[in-house]
Amino acid sequence: MIDIGKLRGTIVEKGFSQRRVAKELGITEKTFYNKMKKGVFSSAEIDAMICLLDMREPMKVFFTNHVSQQETGWL
């Protein structure tokens, strides 16, 4: 499961916007936001984000077993 909070944090930390990441992935902003909401990206999109954001520990973002309750809406 993707840790959307960590992904958002990484995007900001690296100086990107979600809009720019969507453009770099070749998808619309709306599609990107929907994928963020659902926490579902293709393996090609994940690979592209790992490279684009120069992620050192992508497993902690894209393959986590723990996602905060806030992110899942289970509050």
Give 64's pLDDT tier (boundaries 50, 70, 90).
confident
| CA separation for the pair 50, 11 (Å, rounded) | 10
Question: Could you tell me how many residues make up the chain?
Answer: 75
Mean pLDDT throughout 50-72?
Answer: 79
Distance between CA 18 and CA 73 in Å, rounded?
Answer: 21
Q: Is 54 helix (H, G, I), strand (E, B) or coil?
A: coil
- The whole-number pLDDT of residue 28 equals 97
CA gap 28, 72 in Å, rounded: 23
Alpha-carbon gap, residue 68 to 31, rounded angstroms: 23
pLDDT (tens digit per residue) in 1-47 = 899 999 999 999 999 999 999 999 999 999 999 999 999 999 999 99
